[in-house]
Each structure stands twice: as C-alpha cells, then as structure tokens.
Amino acid sequence: MKIVIIGADGQLGTDLVKIFPKNELVPLTIYDVDITDRAKTLKVIKQHSPDVVINTAAYNHVDKCEDHEVPAFAVNTYGVKYVAEACLETGAALVHISTDYVFDGAKGSPYLETDQPNPQSIYAISKYAGEQCVKSILNKYFIVRSSGLYGAAGCLGKGGGNFVEGMLKRAASQSELKVVADEILAPTYSLDLAKNIYELIKTKHYGLYHIVNHGSCSWYDFTVKIFELLDRKVVIHRLTAAEFKAKAKRPQYSVLKNANLEKIGLDKMRPWPEALKAYLAEKGHLKT
C-alpha cells in the first residue's frame, strides 16, 4: 500500500512517519506540495499514484484564524477540496484530519459521530467546510476528528510547541500558573492517534471517526497531571475561559467518543493520563 502523507513534518505528520512502514511512505512537506495550489496538488498526487493520501495540513492557529480567514479557508477548506479532487482523479482513498472544535460544546456529554456540528470560530467553520468537501467529492474517505493534540515534534502551526511544552516553559520562569478550568476535552497524544490511523486505513471501513485518548479533563486538570507525573510542585490556579479572553470562541465541552472505531473493534486508544506519561517519557522529561 503506497501512502502519501501531506504535512509530514508537522506534529501528527512526524508521528505518522514514525509509525508507517518506510517502504510504503511518501512523506511530503509544504515545499513538495502546497495544497492551496490546485494544479500542483493534482500533479504531485498523480505523480506518486498512491493508494492512500493522508492530509494533516491545516492553518490551525485557532486565534489567528479570526483575523486571517482567507488563508484559513484557503488551507482548511479549498486545499482539502483540491486534495479530495486529486484523490478522486487518481482513485486514492483520503484520510483527512479534522477537529473536536466543529462542535459548539452545548451537549455536555461525549460527542458521537452522529451528533450535528455547530462550529463557533473561523478555524472550526473552515475545518467543518473541509469535511463537507471530502464527503461530497469522495466515497473512499476516512475523516478523523481528534482533539488537543500534543506530540514530540510540536505543532508547527502554533509556533512549534504544544500545550505540555508550553506549560513546562512557563513553569521554568513563573512561580505560579493560571490555566483555563472550564473547557473540557480529551487531550490526545499524536503518536497514539498515528498508530490508530494506521490500523484504521488497513480496513476498508470508510467514514467519519472520532479518535481521541479516553477520558476527559480541563486544561487545568491536564496541567495538574503534567506536574504530578513529573513529581514537581507548581502552584496552579483555575482561570475561566472568559478571564483568559482568547480571541476565538472555543467549545466549553468538546469531548469526543470513539464510537465508530469501537463498533469495528479498532479502538486501541488508552486513557489520557497514560498517554501523557508516555509522552513525557518520550521527550525525556520523565526519569524512568
């Protein structure tokens, strides 16, 4: 199975490259293919003639999207449309990565794939529109929604860090941290997500999938767990999202349930505290 990965040097892309057998892989960065260029996207995908394309590319700085909706839609919607069109033309299946932020957070219990999205920010609207392009163009697709990703490479779209590294950096220079406690999610280790995507694409069970580490927590709870696992005493205060004053509106509750993955017996995701511990070990933060 020949697999093209778009965004191969990103946070998730790097972990996909780690997991997938090298002889099957064509890892592409933005220098090989910029998905906002329709002609080039078609040309490059045709040239490799893959069985599967995995699109991890995104304009994913959520707050920045509010003032930069043109590039946000160019990558998250039109770019996705072009990749889907290239897959249609070459017969490749598409794995497209989307987000928990397509939901408004009002449900208050884990979101299933059958729940109706109601995106609340430019980022979320552009990502949901990208999903719609995939669905309307292709039959052979996996749309994978995940949440609060952190991985060893860090998120390129957010300056190369991730939430965990951000907290560690802040704790190095500040004696007390303030963290949002009223946004609940299922933070997910991108290495676990990559492993489960690999299992999923070996099946022909196309469709929409939620793939997150199990359980849920607030950003505050997540931060407390980071320092607990590292056995470090850090004073952490609860902040409300209203006090934090982020530019983009985020869902207060965006926990996803891996319902479709469970149905096909492929939910290999572990609880988020275990995944966090494994991440801290991978990065060498945790002495084992």
Ligand X SMILES: NC(=O)c1ccc[n+]([C@@H]2O[C@H](COP(=O)([O-])OP(=O)(O)OC[C@H]3O[C@@H](n4cnc5c(N)ncnc54)[C@H](OP(=O)(O)O)[C@@H]3O)[C@@H](O)[C@H]2O)c1
Binding flag, residue 56, ligand X (CB under 6 A): yes
Stretch that binds ligand X, among 53-61, 224-232, 270-278, 279-287 (CB under 6 A): 53-61
Q: Which of 4, 58, 86, 134 binds ligand X (CB under 6 A)?
A: 58
Of 173, 217, 211, 169, nearest in space to 190 by CA: 211
Stretch that binds ligand X, among 3-11, 111-119, 195-203, 250-258 (CB under 6 A): 3-11
Binding flag, residue 148, ligand X (CB under 6 A): yes
**What is 47-103 written as a DSSP string?**
HH--SEEEE------HHHHHH-HHHHHIIIIIIHHHHHHHHHHHT-EEEEEEEGGGS
Active site (annotated) includes residue 123: yes
Q: Which of 27, 50, 79, 119 binds ligand X (CB under 6 A)?
A: 79
- Name residue, tokens 């965006």: 254
Stretch that binds ligand X, among 57-65, 106-114, 167-175, 221-229 (CB under 6 A): 57-65
Q: How far is the CB of 282 from ligand X (least distance, A)?
A: 16
**What is 177-198 written as a DSSP string?**
EEEE-S-EE--EEHHHHHHHHH
Q: Which of 42, 52, 143, 149 binds ligand X (CB under 6 A)?
A: 149
Of 193, 197, 202, nearest in space to 278 by CA: 193
Q: Which of 16, 54, 57, 224 binds ligand X (CB under 6 A)?
A: 57
What six digits make up the tokens of 250? 């985020």
**266 phi/psi in degrees, rounded to 5:** -115, 10
**Helix 122-137 vs helix 80-90: crossing angle, to nearest 10:** 10
Contacting ligand X within 179-218 (CB under 6 A): none
What six digits make up the tokens of 198? 């690999």
Residue among 127 and 250 whose Cβ is closer to ligand X:
127
| Residue 283 DSSP class | T
Distance from C-alpha of 238 to C-alpha of 181, rounded to nearest angstrom: 5
Distance from C-alpha of 193 to C-alpha of 149, rounded to nearest angstrom: 9
Residue among 158 and 205 whose Cβ is closer to ligand X:
158
Count the Cβ atoms, other than its own, within 10 Å of residue 242: 9
Site string for ligand X, 86-125 (x = CB under 6 A): -----------x-x--------------------------
Stretch that binds ligand X, among 54-62, 83-91, 135-143, 237-245 (CB under 6 A): 54-62
Residues assigned a catalytic role: 123
Residues within the interface to ligand X (CB under 6 A): 6-7, 9-13, 29-30, 33-36, 56-58, 60, 75, 79, 97, 99, 127, 146-149, 155-157
